[in-house]
Copies of this chain bind each other. A is one copy, B any other.
């Protein structure tokens, strides 16, 4: 038989699920089987993969039989319910939800930053929050040269972060407003087209929303810096796809823009994009569909002797979700941190 792994995608019909399929095909992931799983409501649909047509199967007790790797992207409650069943069946789960990210037993992995964390997995590896992944990839190369002591970040998060339905809703809202009619809201609490609002995830008692606390806590866990000082303001903006972030950094000592540029040019997963003559810097429309996080507008901070300002854009669905998950799967394969192919005979 062909050499490869048996992979299941949980939540195959969502925006991230679709991207997972595209990436497995594009990156020629060594597959012997791809099983598409979704809620009973979506079961029976067919999706194209490598010129074939795959039928989506309903989640059920035997769904994970003979599966090596599960790429889960169906929300935290589904992951909480099904992850243990998948690992009990012998699979490794790479989970895109927030369910296990802060669980001390679960590695939280960005392959460019902390690949070694995945070595000690106990069946589940968590894929971080999208805004956190994008920031971590861009800041880690700097942190290796001069320790970052404080991060103040403001985000510009696109509709895609809320899923395919939210993207469609924003387009319909825009058309309604252009037509002079009332925009409808369902996926979002307020109209997003031509408007913006603080991220509507539930609020903690400290006034931070959950999305902001993910940036604080997950960055600390990924960097292995429990005391890293991080604050975030997360804002949803009327952009279709790709998130942007204005990042203010304080280092332990002065760190020049040119030092930062040199570190970023040499780093994986990052692309320096600065044309100072043309006043051209990363934009969501350039980051959409790209694997790399685009970084630019690197400046010494006028307000702090050890400060640096930078601006980044990244595709929330790719590097912010599906690509990072597939990279984790590739890492498991490469390091043989999943059942080796030999056992598949």
**Residues of chain A whose beta carbon lies under 8 Å from any beta carbon of chain B:** 150-152, 154, 156, 171, 174-175, 178, 189-191, 193-198, 200, 202-203, 206-209, 216, 229-231, 233, 235, 237-240, 244, 246, 248, 257, 276, 279-281, 283-285, 297-304, 307, 309, 311
Is the Cβ of A304 less than 8 Å from the Cβ of B231? yes
Give bound CA distance, A280 to B188, whole Å.
12
Decide if B231 touches A194 in the complex (CB within 8 Å): no
Asked if A152 contacts B203 (CB within 8 A), the reply is no
Interface of A is mostly: mixed
Q: Which residues from chain B contact A283 at a C-beta distance below 8 Å?
A: 190, 195-197
- Please state if B299 and A208 are interface contacts (CB–CB under 8 Å): yes
With A175-B178, A237-B156, A237-B196 known as contacts, the answer to whether A231 contacts B190 (CB < 8 A) is no
Sample of 30 A–B contacts (CB below 8 Å):
A152-B152, A152-B248, A152-B303, A154-B233, A154-B246, A156-B237, A174-B174, A174-B178, A189-B280, A190-B283, A191-B285, A194-B240, A194-B284, A195-B283, A196-B237, A196-B283, A196-B284, A197-B283, A198-B279, A198-B297, A200-B279, A207-B257, A207-B276, A207-B299, A207-B300, A209-B279, A230-B302, A231-B302, A235-B244, A237-B238
Minimal beta-carbon separation of A175 from chain B (angstroms): 6
List of B residues within 8 angstroms of A208 by Cβ: 299, 302
Q: How far is the CA of A235 from the CA of B282 in the complex (A)?
A: 11
* A279 / chain B contacts, CB cutoff of 8 Å: 189, 198, 200, 202-203, 209
A279, B200: Cα distance in complex, Å: 6
**Cβ contact within 8 Å between A309 and B246:** no
Q: Complex: how many Å from CA A299 to CA B208?
A: 7
Given A178-B178, A216-B302, 8 new contacts (CB under 8 A): A151-B303, A174-B178, A174-B193, A195-B239, A198-B297, A198-B311, A230-B302, A231-B309
Indicate how many identical chains form the complex. Answer: 2
A209 proximity list for chain B (CB < 8 A): 279
Expressed in whole angstroms, the minimum distance between the Cβ of A176 and any Cβ of chain B is 11
For the complex, give the distance between the alpha carbons of A192 and B304 in Å: 32
Query: Nearest 5 A-B pairs (CB), nearest first?
Result: A207-B299, A154-B154, A229-B303, A154-B246, A233-B246
Contact B239 A238 (CB under 8 A): yes
Contact B285 A206 (CB under 8 A): no
CA separation between A206 and B297, bound complex, in Å?
11
User: A238 to chain B: which residues have CB within 8 Å?
Assistant: 194, 237-239
Q: Which residues of B contact A237 (CB under 8 A)?
A: 156, 196, 237-238
What is the CA–CA distance of A190 and B195 in the complex, to the nearest angstrom? Answer: 19
Interface centre among A150, A231, A284, A301 (most CB of B within 10 A): A231
Which of A203, A298, A303 has the most chain B CB atoms closer than 10 A to its own CB?
Answer: A303
Cβ distance A233 to chain B, nearest Cβ, rounded Å: 4
Q: How far is the CB of A286 from chain B (nearest CB, A)?
A: 9
Chain B contacts for A150, CB-based, 8 A: 303-304
A191 to chain B: which residues have CB within 8 Å? 285
Tell me the bound Cα distance from A194 to B240 in angstroms.
6
